[in-house]
Amino acid sequence: METMFPVNGVRLGIASAGIKKVGRKDLVIIELAPGTTTAAVFTRNDFCAAPVVLARQHLSQAAPRYLMINTGNANAGTGESGLLAARATVRALAERVGCAEEEVLPFSTGVIGESLPVDKLVAAQALALADLHEDHWQAAAEGIMTTDTRPKVASVRIPFGDHYFSITGITKGAGMIRPNMATMLSFVATDLTIAPALLKVALSRAVEQSYHRITIDGDTSTNDACTLSATGASVLPPISSETDSLYLSFCEALESLLLSLAQAMVRDGEGATKFFEIQVHGGLTGRECLDVAFTIAESPLVKTALFASDPNWGRLLAAIGRAGLVNLAIDQITLTLNDVLIAERGQRAASYTEADGVAAMAPVNIVLQVGLNRGTASTTVYTSDFSYDYVRINAEYRT
């Protein structure tokens, strides 16, 4: 279990509302101290859920004091009644704690198309509030899980001068993962004082290099979001400039922490047995490197070959060839799997043997290096394989 550093100004409470299964921890409330600033990114799926609509609206109106997360029900595809249900749970919590409704952000995850059990959620709010504690990050990570097999947490304490600052975060996500924002639920906090505009910039940059670099199955969720809160409880001075050395240190630590959480989601992908890192270099632009990487990462043929530990490198070449690159010179392509040269000049490498390929595909962690050899851009994307269990989990999701 990873050491979780509490963040001054943040308390977390967990309860069981019995939304999908009696006794399961499925409601988390996060309390933010007055004066906390919060930035967020949300799913770009046009069919976004009611809590996403409401959270976006509230975030534009006030600084959040409470984040309310439920699992077991996504409250998506529920129309106007879903919005009314989300508002009812927000209103109930606001009345309990004595804050404005706009100071509560709702988040939901679970089955799409079913009505949110408002009465169950409202009844459990008192239990979650009674459970509030600064050390409950691990329990909160468990409370937001759906098909995850384990909680995903990350925490750092960074020295700066004679003091230090903390960043702690949790995330959930194992399927329906293809970031077109962040495509999961993630809640991160720091005790630094950071101007709202700079907090938003830091989050956007970190998400781009972490949650936007993973895929499980190519599906962008209807619900998911990532929040970053700065409580201002640290003794370190306020950050008000992008050139501030403290800000630069924070941004570096934040990106590393989110990448750790992102990789944890890939490793816990539904039915996953392999962790596949795809490094594309030598592209004309970063965009075309991403196009190649994601085309490979989301190919069912590549992902099933991964599961079988089968070095079927022809599937890799086929994916590169359909990635949409303009004037791609296939005779410049090189492929390396776990340091084994598979292909060069667009064809099988003279030194390659099938035995070497099988050995390269056997480990849990596999690194593919794709050389486009047409420029200086590069990128890295992370994914998992498709196993029998991936099909089973998703076939049985509602049963």
Tell me, what CATH number does 32's domain have?
3.60.70.12
User: Which of 220, 250, 267 is at the close of a domain?
Assistant: 267
Kindly state the DSSP code that residue 362 receives in the 8-state scheme: S
Of 45 and 317, the one with more pLDDT: 317
- Do 249 and 129 fall into the same domain? yes
**∠ CA 185-365-215 to the nearest 5 degrees?**
35
In angstroms, rounded to a whole number, what is the distance separating the alpha carbons of residues 69 and 185?
Answer: 9
| pLDDT above 90 as % of the chain | 84
pTM exceeds 0.85, yes or no: yes
Per-residue pLDDT tens over the stretch 55-104: 999 999 999 999 999 999 999 999 999 999 999 999 999 999 999 999 99
Domain region containing 320: 275-395
Q: Which two tokens stand for residue 314?
A: 């022809």
Residue 2 placed within a domain: no
| Mean pLDDT taken over the chain | 94
Residue 1 placed within a domain: no
Residue 5 placed within a domain: no
Residue 380 placed within a domain: yes
Residue 156 in this model has a pLDDT that exceeds 90: yes
In angstroms, rounded to a whole number, what is the distance separating the alpha carbons of residues 88 and 118?
Answer: 7
- Clarify whether 168 is annotated catalytic: no
User: Which of 267, 283, 305 is at the close of a domain?
Assistant: 267
- Do 257 and 128 fall into the same domain? yes
Residue 176 in this model has a pLDDT that exceeds 70: no
Active-site residue among 146, 183, 190, 220? 183
- Do 226 and 279 fall into the same domain? no
Q: Report the pLDDT value the prediction gives residue 2, as an integer from 0 to 100.
A: 74
The b/e string for 274-297 (b: 16+ C-beta within 10 A; e otherwise) is bbbbbbbbbbeeeebbbbbbbbbb
- Do 295 and 261 fall into the same domain? no
- CATH number of 383's domain: 3.10.20.340
- Do 208 and 305 fall into the same domain? no
Q: Which two tokens stand for residue 150?
A: 């384990």
Residue 136 placed within a domain: yes
- Do 313 and 189 fall into the same domain? no
Residue 4 placed within a domain: no
Closest CA to 96 of 73, 72, 65: 65
Average pLDDT over residues 337-363: 95
Residue 27 placed within a domain: yes
Average pLDDT over residues 215-244: 90
- Do 217 and 129 fall into the same domain? yes
- pLDDT grade for 180, boundaries at 50, 70 and 90: low
Residue 9 in this model has a pLDDT that exceeds 70: yes
Residue 15, helix vs strand vs coil = strand
User: Which of 212, 237, 267 is at the close of a domain?
Assistant: 267
Q: Report the pLDDT value the prediction gives residue 1, as an integer from 0 to 100.
A: 60
- Do 192 and 54 fall into the same domain? yes
- Do 142 and 206 fall into the same domain? yes
**∠ CA 11-15-16 to the nearest 5 degrees?**
165
- Do 258 and 336 fall into the same domain? no
Q: Report the pLDDT value the prediction gives residue 218, as an integer from 0 to 100.
A: 77
Residue 345, helix vs strand vs coil = coil
Kindly state the DSSP code that residue 278 receives in the 8-state scheme: E
In angstroms, rounded to a whole number, what is the distance separating the alpha carbons of residues 391 and 399?
Answer: 14
Average pLDDT over residues 325-329: 95
Average pLDDT over residues 28-41: 97
- Do 257 and 296 fall into the same domain? no
Per the structure, the count of domains in the chain is 2
Residue 187 in this model has a pLDDT that exceeds 90: yes
Residue 190 placed within a domain: yes
Average pLDDT over residues 193-214: 95
- pLDDT grade for 269, boundaries at 50, 70 and 90: confident
- Do 18 and 42 fall into the same domain? yes
